[in-house]
Amino acid sequence: MLEKIVLYLMEQHRGKTIGILLGLVASIFFIAYGFWRTLFVILCIMLGYFIGKEIDQNQGWDQWVQKFIRKRD
């Protein structure tokens, strides 16, 4: 029964469901660790996501580092 509900929510209301879950997790972090620590964790997650996305697109770590170095020069 619960599996059917979860599958329905993920198929029909994916964005809303993910948004609610992210909001719930964020609120738990805010209550447990405070604003600044939670903000730091969120920033680290975002940084890791963008680095991973770039590595996936460029097919390797070396190419990502070279791209990053070229942008700064």
pLDDT at site 61: 66
pLDDT attached to residue 32: 93
Output the pTM of the full model: 0.58
Q: What is the pLDDT of residues 6-54, one digit of tens each?
A: 888 888 888 888 888 888 998 999 999 999 999 998 899 888 888 777 7
**Coil, helix or strand for 28?**
helix
**Distance (Å, rounded) from C-alpha 13 to C-alpha 30?**
26
Token digits of residue 16: 């809303």
Amino acid 31: pLDDT? 93
Q: Pick from 28, 19, 27, 26: which is nearest to 9 by CA?
A: 19
* Residue 72: pLDDT over 60: no
